[in-house]
A and B are shown apart, each in its own frame.
Chain A
Amino acid sequence: QQPVQSPQAVILREGEDAVINCSSSKALYSVHWYRQKHGEAPVFLMILLKGGEQKGHEKISASFNEKKQQSSLYLTASQLSYSGTYFCGTPRGSQGNLIFGKGTKLSVKP
């Protein structure tokens, strides 16, 4: 079951904040977040392994609510370099394969 991401797209000015949500109809055991720039491969941002876990990387952080079966990615004081499409991935099966959401396109303008 493909996770659902929202919003589909967001436009920000430099310095503004954004939240990207990822939810699943099935129980989640981990959530992986990636950012992909146009024409490039996705870049690993972070993984959240258990309910309630929060992680941060520079000004990008994420939370994982196991009960609500969702994760949120927080981008604070956005920079131009944050532009790209953000994907969340959830595990399917025991081999570690991920099912990705449709992505959220983030555009940061000067």
Chain B
Amino acid sequence: GAVVSQHPSRVICKSGTSVKIECRSLDFQATTMFWYRQFPKQSLMLMATSNEGSKATYEQGVEKDKFLINHASLTLSTLTVTSAHPEDSSFYICSAMARTSGNEQFFGPGTRLTVL
């Protein structure tokens, strides 16, 4: 149980285009999902908290208009990187929080974004 999928796993795009990343909890419902960004050999940096049916909560320094998050259902959250630039190239990982006493988070496999 507790499987989270992420699509696509890799994407290469041209500068100025938009890229959508999907995060799905496959066998449980997740009212809360999280989006992280990770640079090589560094820790996970929380970008935003996504709640089903409401606006996402963004971390300080993360541009809301650039990283659009939509949590349309209890099993799906999407992150859209708008007008992507090379500095947006990174490993993006989502996680879904299980409704348990400990609020365990289960991570998707990640999406490697490369902006040319």
Q: Which residues of A are in contact with B by a Cβ distance under 8 Å?
A: 2, 30, 32, 34, 40-44, 47, 49, 87, 89, 91, 95-103
Contact = CB atoms under 8 A, between A and B. Distances in A.
Q: Classify chain B: how many residues form its interface, as a range.
A: 20 to 34
Q: Please classify the interface of chain B as helix (H, G, I), strand (E, B), loop, or mixed, using the class held by over half of its residues.
A: strand
B103 interface: yes
Contacts of B44: 42, 87, 100
A49 to B, nearest CB: 5
B51 A96 contact: no
B102 A102 contact: no
Contacts of B43: 2, 87, 100-103
B68 interface: no
Nearest to B108: A41
A100 B32 CA distance: 18
Which of B51, B93, B102, B110 neighbours the largest number of chain A CB atoms within 10 Å of its CB?
Answer: B102
Given A47-B102, A101-B43, A102-B43, A41 B107 contact: yes
Given A87-B44, A96-B32, A97-B34, A42 B107 contact: yes
Contact of A32 (B2, B51, B104): B104
Contact of A97 (B2, B49, B110): B49
